[in-house]
Structure 1
């Protein structure tokens, strides 16, 4: 059976109804685009959402974090379910779940309902997104795979760019009086169209032999200890400020530590029994993976925090409309995307040094967030510098995965993506709480930008220190 490398014919005939690789790629990447879009599109709608639903600051943080929590915790499980049940089947199931949850978000009558629906939306994304990379790896070869991965990177960067601007446009348009609800409802017609197109253009799944029981393959004990560990950590961090740090919050943090310890013990037991733990000790022994895991936490944590808190400032003290605040992020996220798309053009020795250098640039930018928080061209140039510096984050994953064996690549990439998503959750919970506390005590969001900027600078500079080991990488990649 032949398999060409032209983009229009990269899918094997046995797995495609019409052999249309370009259409298949468009379908899966549009699904990926929606999932990435919904991480950021909600940011500029937060102040409008707060007024309409009378949501608290903690409620807004949960609206943003709820999606990322379920997405992060279930990401590796979604990838493994795709390998067991079939990537096309899981993509379609995840897309259907995501679309229905988006409809529920758009119709939510209260903050509590919206938060629950965001958790469900994130679970749908966790089923959908791992299948995209798997289908690219399975159905594209040679130069066509390289082009497909290039489009994939463009979609990731584009989702960030478009998310901020599109959120402002949709809220400002106020279509049919829907206000903020449009940022969720826009997914419904797109998702429905993709669901209709999927069975026609995506290759059929071939049965995969199963060597382990389903429970061992999915590591359900790991999921059942990791999920409460994350929730018990994040919820008190988000709710504690507004509730005066009650006793249950501190008890929750202690319980989170206990569940985290249980998760480590469970993973060791699963590995010893010959199962597939979510975090494999063998994967962690790959050169540079541990420092990459540490470094990849700091960048996304500050990035998500910056987008969340700056939106509140732009629509707070600066009195910007949702459209104006969305467009204000365009220089920042465009710089982020440009670096993410073009870093491979750099010589190899510069690529290794780009991560600590980029984090240092972002740290310097965060230091001036407060002094320049009055807006204007200088402020937008500053945010572009922050986006430029943090655009190096894909280099971390690429450098780490160079040293991972092909058999462990899926688990290693899943671990890095999970840590990246969890870092965003913790960043929003901690920096968001700091920002809201400072805004309340100082009486202005500009005052809050000062303290938050310093905290973000310190965090990302720690990431720069951790990334120094990546810059010294000279070991050959695994074949």
Structure 2
């Protein structure tokens, strides 16, 4: 076989392997939001209490967030292909367990396992993209990845509503989990055939860090637990966990520095944070997801509880955001190498504009017609979301060495999960407080959306500041900086990395 004929086959195989990664990522992220509309069905068909329903939602988020960073590092050390297939298999099996659960306790247990499995899958996807693609192709692949993130997050309520309507309120909740099984099995079969067997580090110093895992896990747990249980845990004592979590993460930081000084590979290479693109990108991702996730949260509550929309109708109302976000992410992946951080600024501005449009639509068109009134603003916000998620992911990870791609992706996505939990806690508190004190659902929704917009504005300020700094000092970007020890060992993102124009 000639080189000319072998190369297209290799390229074709890489893009097919990307399809497997995106399918695994899709079903794991879909389960973040799809269960929200199935909670009443769980209450009716399984007798799930409010506490059980809370853990079905928050337990998944907790386990997901806790698994991300250690799973990313595990993939870096033992191979991302093996880690992805293991996580996908565990996720599929746990979905079967959730669907067959004979009681509320078993449902929560399998839901925790499902969340942990999703946390194993997520960093392998970004790591494999880093490893399989370079330069403009990598940006395009992250564009497809951004489309999947956007669609899976926004289409969950619609998919859940369709399944509940098709299978009834007593057993419809089971199919919210069963729907993952055929997709997961097909992805596993395709993954065994298509995912490349890429090399893993042979350096003996590359060992796992169990104490680092313990410190990071308990720190993240202490931060997330009071946030995801904000509505269920009454009183202020829960907030004591936040400084405890901050302290544990501080100890984790010191421990990782000690390991680095001793020549041992840490769980998270702290030198990554010397890369401005990684640090700023992670902060932008944290704050953006802190606002983005809450949009669907308060809109679903408002449409179903106050406008009397069905779960299906509420999902259809949010669908324009999902479709527009997928389109925006696809274009963002193609344009990010040309416009860099400026594209993220445009995307965040569009999201803010779209949210303002939704706030006005709710005010001007009360009642059942509100869904039609907010369609155009949701399209604008969706396009902005697509132009934010995909380009920001590309810019955040593009200078990360391939051998650290899994851990770096895990850190970034841990930030997303923490941001989402913080956003829902803050926006939910604003929404429920106004609803409880004044009983005006429209005003409560508007205040909630304005709070989400304020969180997204923080991300916009960070992006604008970074853009201005790069334009004022074009020679000071990461491409000309000397990374700390441990970051530059394989080059800035591997061979074929992005050109300086992507940083402008």
Q: Same fold (TM over 0.5)?
A: yes
Sort the Cα spacing of 1:347 and 1:413 in 2 relative to 1 into closer, same or farther, 3 A. closer
1:10 matched to which residue of 2? 10
Q: 1:221, CA displacement in angstroms? A: 1.9
Sort the Cα spacing of 1:54 and 1:284 in 2 relative to 1 into closer, same or farther, 3 A. same
How many residues are aligned here?
468
2:113 aligned with 1:124: no
1:15 matched to which residue of 2? none
Q: Deviations over 1:181-233 (max 9, x none)?
A: 211111122223333444344445667524226xxx33322221222222223
- Residue 158 of structure 2 aligns to a residue whose secondary structure is helix
CA contact (8 A) 1:61 1:429 kept: no
Sort the Cα spacing of 1:21 and 1:439 in 2 relative to 1 into closer, same or farther, 3 A. same
2:30 aligned with 1:37: yes
Q: Deviations over 1:32-62 (max 9, x none)?
A: 2222222232233344445555667675554
Sort the Cα spacing of 1:151 and 1:396 in 2 relative to 1 into closer, same or farther, 3 A. closer
2:381 aligned with 1:386: yes
CA distance in 2, matches of 1:435, 1:176: 27
Residue 156 (structure 1) aligned to one of 126, 129, 149: 149
CA contact (8 A) 2:123 2:413 kept: no
2:389 aligned with 1:399: no
CA contact (8 A) 2:297 2:424 kept: yes
Q: 1:445, CA displacement in angstroms? A: 3.7
- Residue 309 of structure 2 aligns to a residue whose secondary structure is coil
Sort the Cα spacing of 1:254 and 1:402 in 2 relative to 1 into closer, same or farther, 3 A. closer
2:278 aligned with 1:289: yes
Within 5 Å, give how 1:100-249 maps onto structure 2: 100-108=93-101, 113-138=106-131, 151-174=144-167, 178-204=171-197, 208-212=201-205, 217-245=207-235, 247=237, 249=238
CA contact (8 A) 1:344 1:351 kept: no
Segments of structure 1 that go 5 or more residues without pairing to the other structure are: 12-18
Sort the Cα spacing of 1:65 and 1:425 in 2 relative to 1 into closer, same or farther, 3 A. farther
Residue 66 (structure 2) aligned to one of 73, 80, 83: 73
Sort the Cα spacing of 1:174 and 1:127 in 2 relative to 1 into closer, same or farther, 3 A. same
Segments of structure 2 that go 5 or more residues without pairing to the other structure are: 480-491, 498-504
Sort the Cα spacing of 1:253 and 1:412 in 2 relative to 1 into closer, same or farther, 3 A. closer
Q: 1:416, CA displacement in angstroms? A: 2.0
Q: Deviations over 1:371-405 (max 9, x none)?
A: 53342322222222322333212222323334445
Q: 1:151, CA displacement in angstroms? A: 4.5
Alignment RMSD (CA, Å): 3.4
Q: Deviations over 1:226-259 (max 9, x none)?
A: 2222222332234344443153x14333432332
2:484 matched to which residue of 1? none
- Mean Cα displacement is larger for which, 111-120 or 414-423? 111-120
Residue 94 (structure 1) aligned to one of 83, 87, 94: 87
2:330 aligned with 1:341: yes
TM-score of the superposition, structure 2-length normalised?
0.80
Residue 418 (structure 1) aligned to one of 411, 414, 430: 414
Q: 1:336, CA displacement in angstroms? A: 1.7
Sort the Cα spacing of 1:225 and 1:379 in 2 relative to 1 into closer, same or farther, 3 A. same
TM-score of the superposition, structure 1-length normalised?
0.84
- Mean Cα displacement is larger for which, 334-343 or 255-264? 255-264
